[in-house]
Amino acid sequence: MRWQEAYALRLMLGDTIAVLIGVFGSELAWVAVADLTDWNLEGSIAEYTLASSVVAIGWLLLMYFAETRDPGVIGSGNTEYHRVVTATLMFVGILALAHYVLELGYIREYVFVAIPLGLMLLVYFRWLWRQWLRAEQRQGGYRSRTLIMGDAERVQDAAAAISRIPGTGLDVVGVVTNGVAQGGGSGSAVKVLGPIKDVLRVIDSLSITTLILMSLDDVDPAFMRQLGWDLESRSIELVVAHTLTDIAGPRLSARPVAGLPLIRIDFPILGRGSRILKRAFDLVAASLILVAAFPILVAVAIAVQVKDPGPLIYRQERIGRLGNPFGMLKFRSMTVGADDQLASLLEAQGTSDTPLFKVLDDPRITPIGRVLRRYSLDELPQLVNVLRGEMSLVGPRPQCSAEVALYEPEARRRLMMKPGMSGLWQVSGRSSLSWDESIRLDLSYIENWSMLGDIIILARTLRAVSTADGAV
């Protein structure tokens, strides 16, 4: 049994418990409330128990048919959560239709109580299982021994990318490729284990469980067909990597035409309706955060003034959506007049002509400023920028005009969306990221935006900030 199948069994157990608690827990609550008050249940306890059983079984079946535990999506990424939410919303529609057709009034109680409770538990249990999986993978378990096959340059790039990102469940043992000496050169990311013709020998000798196939321009189709049959007989998982990077699964769909597996790619979801939804979420969430964080804002303001008298708020011009400048607000974390020293510090560091203007071990940061930056408390005033519509809670990294002036053409696509207080860059290393990595993450976010993705990024932001992961 592959680790994905074993992990899917654990998810099934968690899903079952979550649904049962949500459905039958709600029923028990209704019965208790009815006993303590004058509220009359619309059906008998037997009818509720029967309905609860049907609802729970139907919900779990829909989760199964929606492939929420598909080995290809569980354990990493947001697709797993997206399918859980989508399946649940579909089930709400089925219940609403049943309510309309069968005129069962108590179905409303499942829709408004049991389903929301069960969905929260489903997502929470999935998250708990993923934390368990990460711990197991750090210990070397629940990983696939992986071999990459393809053109020399592509296999090394793929191996480096997979090794760089934790939580993939892939343990890259090596690569097979033509035109490179066995063992690889000094600049190889992983070891070259042999030419492509020896792929089966390598698989058998190293107990490979997953083969990743990159593009191959010089391999006979007959060889590939036979390889597929040989892998099937060995129960080896075959994964084909397309060359269009940073495109999420929901935008991809296979369409076989005349025996050719064509891949259809949807355009990024950046329509007017999506922008309205994102803006509404920003307004509501930013307002709630601002109210909840008000005591923290007051405490930080007092600390800044006491420890380093001067202006409380620092306003810096940044470039927003479509290249429009705006004043980004922050609690001041540097000495007064820090901007006047930036050029000389960058020149001394030798990075005055490169993007991402960061000064290593910046001497301008005050002691209280280091604490504020470590936990991103200096960025709380940007909630005002969000309410003004200049920023979003989640989006590309906000950058100054001098950095934007150094953009390559592809990087200008970042300006399609409002910059964010947080984003993929915030939860993937923060200030430890290179310029290229920051651009790649921002473009990936824009290409694959979803509302659920924003919510997940915000949840991950809380963890990244609380642990000061990647902070300056």
Residue 246 confidence (pLDDT) above 80: no
Spell out the residues 6+ positions from residue 110 whose beta carbon is closer than 8 angstroms to its own. Answer: 23, 26, 51, 52, 55, 95
* pLDDT score of 234 more than 60: yes
- List CB contacts of 76: < 8 A, sequence separation 6 or more: 167, 168, 169
> Which of the listed ranges 43-57, 93-107, 311-325, 334-348 does the model predict with the highest average pLDDT?
311-325
Largest Cα separation within the chain, whole Å, is 82
Q: What value does the mean pLDDT take over residues 253-274?
A: 63
- Confidence at 245, pLDDT banded by 50, 70, 90: low
pLDDT of residue 449: 84
The average confidence (pLDDT) of the chain is 81
Cβ partners under 8 Å of residue 234, min gap 6? 203, 204
Q: What is the pLDDT of residue 359?
A: 59
Enter the pTM of the model: 0.64
Q: CB of 286 within 8 A of CB of 386?
A: yes
- Check pLDDT > 50 for residue 38: yes
Strand partners, 144: 170
- pLDDT, residue 1, reads 63
> Would the pLDDT of 183 be above 80?
no
**pLDDT the model gives residue 143:** 86
Predicted pLDDT of residue 258: 54
β-bridge mates for residue 145, sequence order:
171
DSSP-derived letter for residue 225 is H
The region that residue 239 occupies, defined by phi over 0 for left and psi between -120 and 50 for alpha, beta otherwise, is beta
Which of 11-25, 35-49, 110-124, 328-342 bottoms out in mean pLDDT, i.e. has the lowest? Answer: 35-49
198 vs 163, higher pLDDT:
198
Predicted confidence band at 418 (pLDDT cuts at 50, 70, 90)? very high
Write out pLDDT tens, residues 443-458: 888 877 888 888 888 8
Query: pLDDT value at position 29?
Result: 80
Q: What is the pLDDT of residue 77?
A: 77
Q: Could you tell me the CA-to-CA distances from 7 to 74, 85, 119, 456 in Å, in that order?
A: 8, 20, 20, 21
* 347 vs 345: CA distance, rounded Å: 5
- Which two three-digit tokens encode residue 467? 């642990």
* pLDDT beyond 50 at 186: no
* Domain chopping of the chain, boundaries: 3-138, 144-243, 272-466
pLDDT one-digit tens code per residue, 93-152: 888 887 777 766 667 778 888 899 999 999 999 999 999 998 888 888 888 889 998 887
Q: Which fold has domain 144-243?
A: Rossmann fold (3.40.50)
The per-residue pLDDT for 394 is 93
Mean pLDDT: which of 175-189, 252-266, 326-340 is highest? 326-340
pLDDT at residue 268 above 80? no
pLDDT at residue number 34? 65
pLDDT of residue 12 exceeding 90, the answer is yes
* pLDDT above 80 (res 284): yes
